Amino acid sequence: MAAEAERSSHVPKVRIFVGWQSRSTTEYGSEGALMVYRIVYLIFVSAGVLYSTQSLASPGSTDGGSPAHLQFGIEAVTDFPLQTGVGASIEWPHRIQLTTSIGRMPRMYLETINDVSLAAGWYGESTANLITSALDNAFVWRTRLGWRPWPESSFYCATGLTRARLDGGLGDTDAAIAVTGASAESGEQSAAGLEIDTTMYMLDTEFGWRFFVWERLAVRVAIGAAFTVSSDSVVRANWTPRPRGEAATRRLESGSEAYLNDTIETYVHTVTATTGLGWFF
């Protein structure tokens, strides 16, 4: 019943945090978030237009923009609100790019996703706590294939896959009980909490600019979006249930798994803002 009550208060499930979305977002109380995304979007577009109109030749290029040979670079990168980490990229002579990065999802980034969702009324506090337990400090791996369409421009576009994984836990079962409506054993057993193992996959797209500020030192800025397409959660109780309570415990585990997967796949979609500082060899 609790799960149904929370679900019934939700707005329709098609929700993406895009900066150019208008009426359907502001109607649900996230006008401030919408304005922030629009400002970020305009800043990156303006910066990209200014830099892409300059002569931004890559190191080792022969035509002012296309590298004469394969280029390899490493960078420190942050993809807000998904990860902060390190990455590597390769660009071939025909300006085809392959980039990959690994990092962690900081709690501050995850709280941003939850804050926007709570302000918009997409889910409640109990769900936010469960998502935090599932994704806090998750290990994130992103891989994208991109292309620089114009030799004289630093502008690029890319698309790829993001994988986030966490082996975490929920300190007590209250949040899981609140959102699933399932019951658990009372006493010390249920107070032991739940173990949560979540793996989520996102399809992402990105538009950005990489420009060289000094010799082989490059700065990259980009705006993009990431859309969750799959979530696989495994929830296990941190206690051995007694025979009388085993069925209830298993219902709590399976209910939490289903609820987490459904919520992450439905609501964890976000605009991304990327900044990177790298060195090319």
Q: Average of pLDDT values for 58-62?
A: 52
CB-based contacts of 252, cutoff 8 Å, min separation 6: 173, 176, 177, 180, 182, 183, 184, 194, 235, 237
Give me the residue spans of the domains in the chain.
Answer: 2-280
Q: Residue 16 — very low, low, confident or very high, per pLDDT cuts 50/70/90?
A: very low
Q: Residue 6 — very low, low, confident or very high, per pLDDT cuts 50/70/90?
A: very low
Q: Which is higher by pLDDT, 65 or 82?
A: 82
As a whole number of angstroms, the distance between CA 224 and CA 227 comes to 10
- pLDDT at 165 > cutoff 70: yes
- pLDDT at 17 > cutoff 50: no
247: exposed, middle or buried (C-beta count within 10 Å: 0-12, 13-18, 19+)?
A: exposed
Kindly state the percentage of the chain with pLDDT values over 90.
32
pLDDT tens-place string over residues 49-59: 545 444 444 55
Task: Give the max Cα distance, the chain.
Answer: 76
pLDDT tens-place string over residues 205-223: 999 999 888 888 999 999 9
As a whole number of angstroms, the distance between CA 141 and CA 169 comes to 21
Q: Can you list the alpha helix ranges (DSSP code H) found in 53-201?
A: 107-120, 125-135, 174-180, 188-191
- pLDDT at 129 > cutoff 80: no
Report the first-to-last Cα separation within the chain, whole angstroms: 60
Hey, CA dihedral for 4, 9, 14, 18, is it positive or negative?
A: negative
- 154 SS3 class: coil
Q: Which helix (H) or strand (E) holds 252?
A: helix 246-267
Q: What is the pTM of this model?
A: 0.73
C-alpha dist (Å) from residue 111 to 117, 119, 178, 203: 10, 12, 20, 21
As a whole number of angstroms, the distance between CA 140 and CA 102 comes to 6
Q: Which is higher by pLDDT, 10 or 213?
A: 213
pLDDT tens-place string over residues 227-258: 999 999 888 887 777 777 778 778 888 888 88
Q: Residue 264 — very low, low, confident or very high, per pLDDT cuts 50/70/90?
A: confident
pLDDT value, residue 57:
47
Least confident of 166-170, 258-262, 275-279: 166-170
- pLDDT at 265 > cutoff 60: yes
Highest mean pLDDT out of 56-60, 83-87, 189-193: 83-87
- pLDDT at 201 > cutoff 90: yes
CATH no. of 2-280: 2.40.160.20
Q: Which helix (H) or strand (E) holds 24?
A: helix 23-26
CA atoms within 13 A on the CB side of 217: 4
As a whole number of angstroms, the distance between CA 222 and CA 208 comes to 4
